[in-house]
Amino acid sequence: MTSSFFPPQRTLMGPGPSDVSPRVLGALSRPTIGHLDPLFVQLMDEIKVLLQYAFQTGNALTLPISAPGSAGMEACFVNLVSPGDTVIVCQNGVFGGRMRENVERCGATAVMVEDNWGEPVSVDKVAAAFAEHPQAKTLAFVHAETSTGVRSDAQALCALAREHGALSIVDAVTSLGGIPLKVDEWGADAVYSGTQKCLSCVPGISPITFSPRAVERIQQRQHKVQSWFLDMQLVMGYWGGDSKRAYHHTAPVNDLYALHESLVMLQEEGLENAFARHLRNHQALVAGLEAMGLSMAVAAAHRLPQLNAVNIPAGVDDAAVRSALLSDFDLEIGAGLGALAGKTWRIGLMGYASNERNVLSCLTALEAVLARQGADIRTGAALNAAAAVFNAG
């Protein structure tokens, strides 16, 4: 017989899922009601409005896809890309590669704009790609690369797409709620995110938003969307406007309780305060890491405050360090991904997990484990350096 599962209480400072607020876990386990219950329909309406706040948009088509961020990505591509299209896809980490897969599975051609992992997308290269491929109708890029901890200039890239009459598809999985993401002001056309990063919510849901221009393209499609589950015309019918809702699928009721609570918390804190908190904790962490003698993998101008890529010091056993942090401190940090596997750690400070206690306990645990492994680090300086940032703030 298999027994019930009782997970330990970890501190989640990897690339996500991040720590979930106890308020959100409390909401998650409230009694399930029907997905067509009038009270649930009200909840859906509130979630749409709260997501508009989080995305800083007035887009009517703003809602959570009932599946993880990868499905949110796919929802954007299958609805906006048609067979034969040309899509400019920027790759500076893992997730640009997935975008390419999505484009190609739509029967379209991906024009790749490559940048080094750990560097932002080059706006100049994208401009050159548009010049070379004037038929490109879509630009796709990652705002906050979870695999490298790099922020790209979403505002400039969205503006470039508009200049060329193209729509922009923006991966905001790790940015939503952590750094400014001004969907309307920047003119982003299709933006998807995830619940398990800076929203402090459980994984499994993908908030998305489509601009009126994107909706127009969907309505003018000549080919049926290849995914029935992700066909936005059907999903829209379920999430409804003023009219009666058409059954499409059964919404993940409890996950949406959790998402609602996490968005209520974001609204209570205020977006600007949330961004400032993420930034301050990041600065303190970096001060501590550098005081310890470690170096950051990304240039200061392009760092994501919510995801800190740290170079693994020479001679240190990557897996052994992460394993010791997990077993001795119940602390999860992330491994490097793809080209950066074995070269960096990724320390997340996302959402509820972005707090002073986590910064200090992570520095403490990392210093203890590295010292035990005989790594060449400076001990006894990290906490003071981090505290100085907090005390100044």
Chain residues 217-276 in contact with a copy of itself, contact rule CB under 8 A: 224-229, 247-255, 257, 260-261, 263-264, 267-268
Nearer to a copy of itself (CB atom), residue 139 or residue 333: 333
Question: Distance between alpha carbon 107 and the CA centroid of its chain, in Å?
Answer: 26
Instruction: Pick from 41, 56, 60, 101 the residue near a copy of itself by CB under 8 A.
Output: 101
Report which of 163, 162, 164 is spatially closest to residue 189, judged by C-alpha positions: 162
CA distances from 82 to 156, 220, 222, 313 (A): 25, 11, 8, 46
Any binding-site annotation on 221?
no
Report which of 284, 359, 293, 362 is spatially closest to residue 322, judged by C-alpha positions: 362
Nearer to a copy of itself (CB atom), residue 67 or residue 368: 67
Instruction: Pick from 79, 92, 175, 196 the residue near a copy of itself by CB under 8 A.
Output: 196
Nearer to a copy of itself (CB atom), residue 63 or residue 389: 63
Q: In the bound complex, what is the minimum distance in angstroms from residue 14's beta carbon to a copy of itself? A: 6
Taking the C-alpha atoms of residue 149 and residue 127, their distance in angstroms, rounded to an integer, is 24
Q: H helices within 220-270, ranges in order? A: 232-239, 253-269
Q: Starting at the edge strand that comes first in sequence, how are the strands of the sheet with 344-348 ordered?
A: 11-13, 331-335, 344-348, 307-311
Within 13-72, which residues bind a copy of itself (CB under 8 A)? Answer: 14, 16-17, 19-20, 23, 25-35, 37-40, 43, 46, 49-50, 66-71
Hey, what amino acid is at 306?
A: Q
Q: How many residues sit close enough to a copy of itself to count as binding (CB under 8 A)? A: 80
Instruction: Pick from 58, 86, 202, 375 the residue near a copy of itself by CB under 8 A.
Output: 202
Nearer to a copy of itself (CB atom), residue 251 or residue 385: 251
Question: SS3 for 86?
Answer: strand
Within 325-384, which residues bind a copy of itself (CB under 8 A)? Answer: 326, 332, 337
Nearer to a copy of itself (CB atom), residue 260 or residue 277: 260
**1 is a contact residue toward a copy of itself (CB under 8 A):** yes
- Sequence-distant (≥ 6) Cβ neighbours of residue 208 within 8 angstroms: 62, 63, 64, 65, 72, 75, 76, 190, 191, 192, 193
Taking the C-alpha atoms of residue 163 and residue 127, their distance in angstroms, rounded to an integer, is 10
Segment holding 157, helix H or strand E: helix 154-163
Question: Distance between alpha carbon 65 and the CA centroid of its chain, in Å?
Answer: 14
Q: In the bound complex, what is the minimum distance in angstroms from residue 338's beta carbon to a copy of itself? A: 9
Only one of the segments 162-170, 181-189, 201-209, 289-297 lies at the binding site for a copy of itself (rule: CB under 8 A); that segment is 201-209
Within 149-178, which residues bind a copy of itself (CB under 8 A)? Answer: none
Only one of the segments 5-13, 134-142, 180-188, 379-387 lies at the binding site for a copy of itself (rule: CB under 8 A); that segment is 5-13
Q: In the bound complex, what is the minimum distance in angstroms from residue 118's beta carbon to a copy of itself? A: 19
Q: In the bound complex, what is the minimum distance in angstroms from residue 227's beta carbon to a copy of itself? A: 6
Do strands 61-65 and 138-142 pair parallel, antiparallel, or not at all (unpaired)? Answer: unpaired
Nearer to a copy of itself (CB atom), residue 117 or residue 130: 117
Q: In the bound complex, what is the minimum distance in angstroms from residue 69's beta carbon to a copy of itself? A: 7
Burial 217-230 (b: 16+ CB within 10 A, else e): bbeeeeeebbbebb
Within 269-328, which residues bind a copy of itself (CB under 8 A)? Answer: 326
Q: Which parts are annotated binding residues for substrate?
A: 346
Q: Which parts are annotated binding residues?
A: 346
